[in-house]
Structure 1
Amino acid sequence: MNRQRWRRLGVCPITDGAGATYVAANLALAAARLPNSDVLLVDLALGHPSVAMQMGIAGDFRFISYLRGEDLQPDEFVTRIEGDANLRCFTSGRAIPGGAELLQDEVTRERIDRLVAESGCDLAIFDLSPVLGTDEGLAGLPVMDAVLLVADGRAGNGQQVTDCQRLLADMPPLLGVVLNKAEDMG
């Protein structure tokens, strides 16, 4: 991502329950441990946000107000992870209806751009909704520089990966597919 000068990585599950939040959170924690690395972890799975729970922090609904264009500064609702000064989280902590519509709104897209640009971060990792089964997952992809898909190693199948690749044809580049929960495969 550095070579391409990409800063926004969308971590997107193929289906619900694939574990994309787990992957996004651990990727953010690992990236924040690199020397001189400033990382944002942003929960854009608006219909089922779970970054706050995964990270053991409280969400702040002002994040949604910010995305909707209200006059707020990100420093007002950012959560810094204790013991990890290089990682900041943005999450509402509760579901909102109409997440796909919000993510397609030009004001929201400008706010996401602003959040990344003004933060000065080296990497912004976005936890997104599933590509299959929701419109919300696809709605968040156009503001990403690259996408990492997360497949469920227990319940997923190759056809789902193929379907996602077809849906992502005109989207940001696909960096790869993480097979999560594969240790349960016997």
Structure 2
Amino acid sequence: MYSERMSTPERLIEATRELLWERGYVGTSPKAIQQQAGAGQGSMYHHFTGKPDLALAAIRRTAQELRATADATLGIEGSAYEKIASYLLRERDVLRGCPVGRLTMDPDIIASDELRAPVDETITWLRGRLAEIAQQGVRDGEFPASVEPGDVASTIVATVQGGYVLARASGSTAAFDAGVRGLLALLAPRD
């Protein structure tokens, strides 16, 4: 499942990331992590103090990956609308959902300040990055001066996260796609 070149800690982190996404914190047992990573109990506890420590490393990795992906799609050359469209239209596994967004629905992660922190920081970062782009759109006259960049950023994040929920509930990407089309229609520059 994992590359032979991956170190044991890397395999453990990747296995934990997958299991957190699929099963949540409670459903991710140390034994399941070890089995998926092909690592023994001694190896796991040699590299990590326990499940919370390993979960934190996995959550941080997931957050870093989301930031890198978002930054790549938002960092294109072009207008604010084109940058936002790039982010909204990027290829996603919609029916699987957002690995960071899914963590917000896990009561054990949300109850832990330490585990919740990278999730909150990532969502805050994304909203900030999107607000900068919306501000660019206002500054360049692409969006009306009355547009509040922070509100636009929150709307974009809510559309994506809500779209995942609607798609998963229906078993179809149609609702996600409709939300993206609707938001892009609302943001489209007017002649």
Same fold, TM-score > 0.5, yes or no: no
Highest relative contact order (Cα 8 Å, sep 6+), 1 or 2? 1
**Greater Cα radius of gyration, structure 1 or 2:** 2
Pick the structure with more helix per residue.
2
Report the TM-score when normalising by structure 2: 0.29
Pick the structure with more strand per residue.
1
